[in-house]
């Protein structure tokens, strides 16, 4: 499996895991009375799943972008060391 594809899959799993924790905390702490809305509505479970999936997409994208930025930063530092300079920050 190519390295970039593996990185994307790991980032997606991390993003959806963080999203699950985020949605759980929102429902546990009853932010904006969402626990009541999800619990009493007939489509509340579907709304919670949609909330989790949409947040998962966002958090996965952020995880992937951050990982790529860190890879570029490490590569720039290696190149600067090879050329005898200091890396740009």
Could you give the number of structural domains in the chain?
Answer: 1
Residue 75 lies in a domain: no
Per-residue pLDDT of 13-31, as tens digits, reads: 999 999 999 999 999 999 9
Give domain status of residue 89, yes or no.
no
Q: Does residue 76 sit within a domain? A: no
Q: For the residues 46-53, what does the mean pLDDT come to?
A: 98
Residue 8 lies in a domain: yes
pLDDT in tens, 62-78: 999 999 888 887 777 77
The number of CA neighbours under 13 Å toward the Cβ of 84 is 0
Distance CA 32, CA 51 (A): 14
What is the distance between the alpha carbons of residues 18 and 51, in angstroms, rounded to a whole number?
13
Asked whether residue 87 is assigned to any structural domain, the reply reads: no
Q: How many CB atoms lie within 10 A of CB 47?
A: 13
Q: Are 57 and 23 in contact (CB under 8 A)?
A: no
40 domain residue, yes or no: yes
Structural domain including 51 reads 3-60
> pTM score, two decimals?
0.80
């Amino acid at each position: 499996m190519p390295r970039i594809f593996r990185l994307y899959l790991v980032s997606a799993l991390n993003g959806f895991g963080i999203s699950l924790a985020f949605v759980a905390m929102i429902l546990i702490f009853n932010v904006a009375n969402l626990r009541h809305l999800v619990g009493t509505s007939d489509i509340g479970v579907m709304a919670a799943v949609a909330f989790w999936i949409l947040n998962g997409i966002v958090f996965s994208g952020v995880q992937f972008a951050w990982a790529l930025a860190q890879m570029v930063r490490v590569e720039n530092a290696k190149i600067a060391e090879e050329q005898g300079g200091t890396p740009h920050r």
